[in-house]
């Protein structure tokens, strides 16, 4: 039971002071929060960027394919008009 009484603080200011080690303790908590936040947020940003890039590539591929079809169709139409 002595261990439990040694962990308890008499006031909130004493809790924040952490027995004189407040800078070390709260710096570690702050770094932990930053680490967790970055590890949750960066994959979300990367996923959005990847999806945006894939959509752009798909649009470009569809436009290029459409241009090939149009130019091939136009070429056949010109041949048909030339043979008439």
Residue boundaries of the structural domains of the chain: 2-83
Residue 39 · residue 32 · CB < 8 Å: no
Residue 23 · residue 31 · CB < 8 Å: no
pLDDT in the model for residue 66: 78
pLDDT per residue over 55-77, tens digit each? 999 999 888 887 766 666 565 65
pLDDT in the model for residue 75: 59
Decide which of 11 and 52 is more confident. Answer: 52
Q: Based on C-alpha coordinates, what's the Rg of the chain? A: 33
Q: Give percent of the chain above pLDDT 70.
A: 70
């Amino acid at each position: 039971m002595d261990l439990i009484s040694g962990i308890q603080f008499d006031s909130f200011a004493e809790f924040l002071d952490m027995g004189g080690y407040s800078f070390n303790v709260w710096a570690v908590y702050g770094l932990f929060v930053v680490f967790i936040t970055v590890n949750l947020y960066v994959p979300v940003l990367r996923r959005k960027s990847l999806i945006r890039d894939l959509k752009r590539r798909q649009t470009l591929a569809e436009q290029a394919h459409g241009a090939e079809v149009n130019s091939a169709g136009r070429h056949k139409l010109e041949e048909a008009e030339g043979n008439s």
